[in-house]
Structure 1
Amino acid sequence: MAKAVQKQALGRGLSALLKDPENDIKSVSDKNADKVVGNIIELDIDSIEINPFQPRTNFNEESIKELASSIRELGVIQPITVRKLDFNKYQLISGERRLRASKVVGLTTIPSYIRIANDNESLVMALVENIQRHDLDPIEIALSYQRLIDEIQLTQEQMSERVGKKRSTIANYLRLLKLDPIIQTGIRDGFISMGHGRAIINVEDQDVQTDIYQKIVSQNLSVRETEALVKIYQDGLKPAPAKAKKATSFAIADEQKKAFTEFFGSKIEVKIAGNGKGKITIPFHSEEDFNRIIKLINK
């Protein structure tokens, strides 16, 4: 108990230090910065502004009320993280649910970790910490990854190191952003899972995507059933194997048969099948006759 009181008093003491204009800390090299940066300090809630880089866009009011009830009983157990903007002015990096719940309770101060960071660093910290610590929906996570790519120019390999996720996992989240917006909303609202989304994304036509989405919701299809439905659609796109053209039969005129007979000096037999294929039979009566026919062919 004594340690807890001492820690709380220390937070209040550092809070007073930050409110002294003569000790305004703007960088890690300033005097007393080592006492402030990285320490838990009780900050005035009114001095903290919401982070514009916050990836979470949906906050469940019921869960906020539940957290507020816990804070009312036990206090804020896990400090929020902020960055210093100006004298007695801070911006939230992570912990918006705790900050919102604290306001519901009516707290005037909140325990906070203070960091000094530029906008890019703040964005990275906000996105990475929220991805790791909060139950973001798959689309919010995908949007967070996309912002790291677009605004900070992080590669998927770099993001993999930052958030401790496999590159393939990151790629799977990013692919969800190719889904029709209606389907993305369905994932965010919990009508379908990320697994359903990953199956649907294999369909390029967004009109077909939404048709499949509606079937999933109306028929309560599982991920496996969705994958089977997508496969049926994709199989239907494959071109049918080309049918071999049926050869048509033909007839040989008597003059043609007569020409064969006169050329070989023997009655030539010609047979033609219904598919147009056939054979020519050249009879011979002796070895001498056979050699005669060979000489005719070789002329």
Structure 2
Amino acid sequence: MAKGLSALLSDSDLVVSKKVASFDGVKPVKVSSIKTNPYQPRTEFDQEALDELAESIKIHGIIQPLTLREAENGSYELISGERRLRASKLAGLDEVPAYIRNVDDQRSLEMALIENIQRENLNAIEVALSFQRMIDDCGLKQSELGERVGKNRTTVNNYLRLLQLPAPIQSAITLGKITMGQARPLITIEDEDFQLELLQKIMNEGLSARKVEELLKEANKTDGSFSPLETYREDMRIEEISLRGKTKVPLKIKVNAIDKGFVSLPFQSEEELQKLLTQLGLDS
């Protein structure tokens, strides 16, 4: 007589044990000896979902082994499977099945990121931060990064540009209050106050990404005259040219909003810096 589904699942511990034994480098590992992954790209874990997974693990065991790498003093570092590890602790497991991989920091970061992206468990800001970390820590170019994670360069760039948004907008994406599609049009806005104004409008009215783009197009239309911000930017461009002529210094004026911005003095070497300071009368 055929077994029911619940009966088959209750035997999954045995099935996993047999599969674990058949893989080279896979073995049961003490939960207490596993350290969390410092390169874990995921920062948000739903507690209710963890509790549900823990209950499932109590009944059926862990279906998919964790992925670890050896660390110091006989301990292990988690590469992927932090959700399963957390749920296993909640379920009271002493041991978990794990693949043991011999990888360096760069490969560990890549594996953790790729697993989460493939499972679509990361929000857009977590993906963007992970991409930026791979660029910073691993010295990858955007095109190389795209190849590693199976994304084209445009997609990688779209994620990275989200990090240019003000913190409240990034937070709204992380919390799922707005989508990446709704947020992307806001990247083109230089006025932060206007960005945040649109953020509230998106959340309050549930505007689609297309509607946000339409609002921006309308805002950019003029009747032949400049908006106050555009007029101010034009005034600052003229002021920039005037100051360059007077000081002989290649300064640049960046306008963020009316009466807000900063002045920068670019230089390419220590010699150029000293020359700039001399021209400004600031050399010691």
Whether TM exceeds 0.5 here: the answer is yes
Deviations 1:80-106 (A, max 9, x none): 111101342000011000000000100
Correspondent of 2:149 among 146, 152, 163: 163
Find out whether 1:105 has 2:91 as its counterpart. Answer: yes
Aligned pair partner of 1:79 in 49, 58, 65: 65
How far does the alpha carbon of each residue in 1:197-240 deviate from its partner, in whole angstroms, 9 at most, with x for none? 11111212222110110111122212221111122223359855
Larger radius of gyration: 1
CA contact (8 A) 1:50 1:96 kept: yes
Question: Which residue in the other structure is 1:173 paired with?
Answer: 159
Going from structure 1 to structure 2, the CA distance change for 1:54 and 1:149 (only over 3 Å counts) comes to same
% identity of equivalent residues = 46
* Alignment coverage as a number of residue pairs: 217
RMSD in angstroms over aligned alpha carbons?
A: 2.5
Does 2:21 align with 1:8? no
Query: What is the aligned counterpart of 1:43 among 9, 29, 33?
Result: 29
Structure 1 gap segments, 5+ residues each = 13-34, 241-299
In the alignment, is the contact (CA less than 8 A) between 1:176 and 1:184 conserved in 2? yes
* Pairing 1:221–2:207 present: yes
Give the 3 Å change call, closer, same or farther, for CA 238–84 of structure 1 in structure 2. Answer: farther
The structural deviation recorded for 1:115 is 1.1
| Structure 2 Cα separation of the partners of residues 238 and 145 of structure 1 | 42
Change (3 A) 1:238 1:108: farther
Report the residue type matching 1:117 in the other structure.
V
Aligned equivalent of 1:185:
171
1:156 maps to a residue whose letter is: Q
Cα offset, 1:125, TM superposition: 2.2
8 Å CA contact retained: 2:12, 2:61? no
Question: Partner of 2:96: helix, strand, or coil?
Answer: strand
Give the letter aligned to residue 105 of structure 2: D
Letter in 1 for 2:75: K
Decide which moves more: 133-142 or 44-53.
133-142
Please tell me whether the aligned partners of residues 12 and 60 of structure 2 are also in contact (alpha carbons under 8 angstroms): no
Give the equivalent residue in structure 2 for 1:137.
123
Q: Which amino acid aligns with 1:44?
A: K
1:201 aligns with 2:187: yes
Are the structure 2 counterparts of residues 210 and 4 from structure 1 closer, same or farther at C-alpha, using a change threshold of 3 Å?
closer
The 2-side partners of 1:166 and 1:178 are apart by 20
- Give the deviation of 1:3 after TM superposition: 11
- Residue 151 of structure 1, aligned match among 137, 147, 155: 137
* Aligned 8 A contact 1:132 1:163 in 2: no
Q: Does 1:115 align with 2:101?
A: yes
Distance in 1, matches of 2:179 and 2:12, equals: 46
CA offsets 1:134-190 (integer angstroms, 9 cap, x no match): 410011011111111111011111122111112211111111111111001001111
CA distance in 1, matches of 2:16, 2:225: 72
2:17 is aligned with what amino acid? Q
1:129 maps to amino acid: E
3-state SS of the aligned residue for 1:56? coil
Q: Which runs of 4+ in 1 moved over 3 A?
A: 1-7, 9-12, 236-240
Partner of 2:275: none
What is the letter of the counterpart of residue 168 of structure 1? T
| TM-score in terms of structure 1 length | 0.67
Paired residue secondary structure (1:201): helix
Corresponding residue of 2:218: 232
TM-score, L = length of structure 2: 0.70
Closer, same or farther in 2 for the Cα pair 1:227/1:85, shift >3 Å? same
SS at match of 1:191: coil
Q: 1:121 Cα shift?
A: 2.6
> Which structure 2 residue ranges, 5 or more long, are not aligned?
1-7, 227-284
In structure 1, what is the Cα distance between the partners aligned to 2:76 and 2:223? 56
